[in-house]
Amino acid sequence: MYIENNKDVMLELDNFIQKQELNNNQKDLYKSIIRNNYTNLKYKILSEKIRDKKAVVTANIKVKDLYTIEKDTIKYLGENPADFYTDGKFNQNKFINYKLEEMKKRTDEVKYNVRLNMIKKSNVWFIKELDDKTLQKIHGTYKHP
């Protein structure tokens, strides 16, 4: 579902992006970054427990590490605040643009274990709605050491 960017996943992504405090260009770029994470997501099934038309699947996923990139850009901001000032004022858009460009160009990856609740309808398995923690892991934004 996520790797193929199906319509339900894209609707979920649109809803997530609309909640972000970004201008339209930034939203488009962030959506592209997350969609790319979906497309390039690698996974290995660790276990599956199936009972009738319900299943719980545990998988190890590998995605672009947006959490570390975010952390690094905040550190860079702290060490180089003048880079993000315009006419003596902090320019939030300049910082967000920098952060998004870093997310776009860097290739760091991270692995997470996720638990997916699934349901079978018409002989096709579907992932039930994801909790925030799992969604953050799929996005690559979940906090890790």
Q: Is the pLDDT of residue 3 over 50?
A: no
What pTM does this model have? 0.84
Q: Which residues contact 29 (CB under 8 A, 6 or more apart)?
A: 100, 104
- Name the token pair of 113: 């274990």
Q: Which two tokens stand for residue 41?
A: 């997501």
For 81-130, how does the pLDDT look when each residue is reduced to its tens digit (9 = 90+)? Answer: 999 999 999 999 999 999 999 999 999 999 999 999 999 999 999 888 88
Q: For residue range 23-62, list pLDDT tens digits in order.
A: 999 999 999 999 998 889 999 999 999 999 999 999 999 9
Angle (nearest 5°) at CA 11 between 64 and 45: 45
Report CA-CA distances (Å) from 76 to 14, 38, 91, 102, 107: 29, 27, 15, 11, 18
Kindly indicate the confidence band of residue 2, based on its pLDDT and cuts at 50, 70 and 90.
low
Per-residue pLDDT of 9-20, as tens digits, reads 778 888 888 888
pLDDT at 1: 53
**57 and 48 in contact (C-beta within 8 Å)?**
yes
